[in-house]
Amino acid sequence: MNFRFFTLLGSAGAALVVLGLLAFMPVKPSDGPFEKQSSTRPNAALPHIILFISDDHGYEDSGFAGAKVVRTPNLDALAKESLRFTHAFCNTPNCVPSRAVLNTGLMPARNGAHPNHSKINAGIKTLPVYMQTLGYQTILAGKDHVWPRSAYPYVYLKKRDQDYQVIDSVLAASAKPNQKPLFLVVATDNPHVPWPNLEGYDPKTVDLPPFMIDTDVTREVRAKYFTDVTDMDKTLGQCLASMKKYGYGDNTLFIYTTDNGPQWPHGKWNLYDQGIRVPMLVRWPGRVAPNATTDAMVPLLDILPTLLEASGGQVPDGLDGRSFLPVLLGQKNAHRDTIFTTYTADTRYGNFNYYPIRSIRTRGLKYIMNLEPDRTYTTHITNAKPQDGRDYWESWLEKAKTDPKAAKLVHDYQHRPAEELYDLDKDPYELTNLATNPANKSTMVKFRQAMVNWMEDQNDQDGLTRFFANIKYNPKANK
C-alpha cells in the first residue's frame, strides 16, 4: 500500500516539534487590525480549525458523490456528519496558485501567484497571519506549496512517505489544558501523480467519463489513480481517528477539500468543471447541520473570510473572497451567482503548459475565453514523463488514427477556439461547444463583456503580459 503522506523525524523528533509548537508566538499583521463587518460567530469560544486538503482529487471521485467504483469509506462517513457542498470550486486549477488564493482571499491577478511555483506579492496578508492575530497556533503538515514562506508563518512539519505519527502528536499536545486554539492544515500529496501501483482495483471494471478514450493503458492508469484516492482516504481516516481520541468534537471546525481537479484531460490546468469543481465537506457539531447538502456556489477564494468570521474576527476590506458562514449556519441557502476562474501557465517548462484561459461559471452555463487560441494546448499529460499521463496519452493518439470519436476528442483537447459556451445541465462534461450558435449571440455578448470588465477590475492584463509578452488579447480594445 502506497501511503504517500508524511511524518516526521520519528517519535523523538515528533516530541521536539510539538514542544516547539506550544511555544510558537503569534505574528502581528503589518498594517493594523481588521476593518470590516461584525462577526456572526455563534459563541465566544474559539474553535479549533482543521483544514484537510488533498491534492488533485476529482469532485466525482468519492462514494458520497455517487462514485460506484472508487472506495472512500472515511470520506463517506465524514459526509454523513457534515454539510456537503455540491458546487464548490477552486479559482485556478493548479497547485500553488490555488493554495495562494485560499490563503489570501485574493485572485491570482491581485495576489501575484499566476503561474505554478510562484510567489505572492510582497505585503499581502495570509491566512496564518490573520489566525495568529486571533490567538491561534498555526501549523501546516504535509505538502506546503505556499511561497514565499516568510509570508506564510505556519510551523511547517516536513513530509515523508510513511505514516501519520506527528499529526497525532500535534493533536495530542494541542488538546491539553491552557493551549492556544489550533489552526492545522493537513495537506496530503495524494492523489497527485505519480500514481502508485494499483491495488484492489480491476482495470476492466473502472468507470471512464466520456472525455476519456477507452484503452487498456487508460484503464490501468485509472485504477492506479483510484488506488491513490483510497490511500488518501485512509490518511483522512487516521486524522479523524486521532481527533476523536483527543476530544476534538463540538469545539472543532473541520473542512475537507482539495486544491483542484485530477491530472486527467479536462481536469487540472483546465477550466472545465473537471478541473475547477472540487469536493467540500464541512463538519462543525452543533453549528453546521450534519448529513446535509447545499448547492450554494462557493469558491476556495471564500474560505479565508469564512474562517475569520467563524473565529470571531472581522473580514477586511479589499478581499475578493467573502464569507459563506451564513450558509454553514443555515441562515442562507445561496451564496454566489457567478464564479470566475483563471489559468495562466506553469513557467517551469518553456515549451508546454503555457495557455492562458479565463472563465465564468454560473449555475447552468460555462463561458470560457481562450486568450491565445492559436497555441496548441499542451500540458504534462502530452509532453512530460510517462507517469504524468503521457503513457495513456500515447495510446489515445494511436487509437485516434483509426477511431473518429477518439480523433475528435484528441483534436478538441489540443485545439481550442477563442470562446466556448456550455449548457451544464444538458452537457455536464462540456463536450458540445455552443459559442457559435446564433441563438446564443446575446448570451455571448453579455458573458464577453462581463469577462472584459472583470479582467480590468482585476488588472489581469498586467499579469498576463508578464508571462505572454506578445499576448494578442487586450481587454480595452474589445470595449
User: Model-level pTM?
Assistant: 0.91
382: in domain: no
pLDDT, tens digit, 9 for 90 and up, residues 279-292:
999 999 999 999 99
Q: What is the CATH number of the domain that holds 439?
A: 3.30.1120.10
More confident residue, 165 or 453: 453
Domain boundary among 304, 332, 360: 332
137: in domain: yes
Q: How far apart are CA 304 and CA 103, in angstroms?
A: 6
Q: How far apart are CA 55 and CA 75, in angstroms?
A: 15
Same domain, 325 and 470: no
For residue 312, report the phi and psi dihedrals to the nearest 5 degrees.
90, 5
Q: How far apart are CA 203 and CA 331, in angstroms?
A: 45
Same domain, 299 and 442: no
Same domain, 25 and 119: yes
Same domain, 186 and 105: yes
Same domain, 233 and 166: yes
Same domain, 216 and 314: yes
Domain boundary among 300, 332, 364: 332
pLDDT, tens digit, 9 for 90 and up, residues 68-101:
999 999 999 999 999 999 999 999 999 999 999 9
pLDDT, tens digit, 9 for 90 and up, residues 207-239:
999 999 999 999 999 999 999 999 999 999 999
pLDDT, tens digit, 9 for 90 and up, residues 90-146:
999 999 999 999 999 999 999 999 889 899 999 999 999 999 999 999 999 999 999
pLDDT, tens digit, 9 for 90 and up, residues 246-262:
999 999 999 999 999 99
139: in domain: yes
For residues 46-71, give the mean pLDDT. 98
Q: How far apart are CA 232 and CA 242, in angstroms?
A: 16
Looking at every residue in the chain, the average pLDDT score rounds to: 89
Domain boundary among 306, 332, 358: 332
Which residues span the domain enclosing 470?
341-377+416-478
308: in domain: yes
The DSSP bridge partners found for residue 405 are none
5: in domain: no
- The alpha carbon of residue 37 and the mean position of all alpha carbons in its chain are separated, in whole angstroms, by 26
**Is the pLDDT reported for residue 20 higher than 80?**
no
pLDDT, tens digit, 9 for 90 and up, residues 366-385:
999 999 999 999 999 999 88
**Is the pLDDT reported for residue 16 higher than 50?**
no
Q: CA dihedral defined by 303, 304, 309, 314, rounded to 10 degrees?
A: -150
Confidence tier at 477 by pLDDT (50, 70, 90): very low
409: in domain: no
385: in domain: no
Same domain, 212 and 101: yes
Same domain, 267 and 358: no
Q: Cis before residue 305, ω within 30 degrees of 0?
A: no
Same domain, 349 and 286: no
Q: Which amino acid is at 297?
A: M
Question: Are the C-beta atoms of 395 and 214 separated by less than 8 Å?
Answer: no
Same domain, 244 and 351: no
pLDDT, tens digit, 9 for 90 and up, residues 297-307:
999 999 999 99
For residues 457-477, give the mean pLDDT. 74
pLDDT, tens digit, 9 for 90 and up, residues 391-444:
999 999 999 999 999 999 999 999 999 999 999 999 999 999 999 999 999 999
Q: How far apart are CA 440 and CA 435, in angstroms?
A: 7
DSSP letter string over 215-233? -HHHHHHHHHHHHHHHHHH
**Is the pLDDT reported for residue 198 higher than 80?**
yes
130: in domain: yes
Nearest to 104 by CA among 89, 132, 123, 82: 123
Same domain, 157 and 249: yes
The DSSP bridge partners found for residue 48 are 252
Same domain, 284 and 371: no
Q: What is the CATH number of the domain that holds 211?
A: 3.40.720.10
Q: How many domains does the chain have?
A: 2
Nearest to 192 by CA among 61, 321, 95: 95
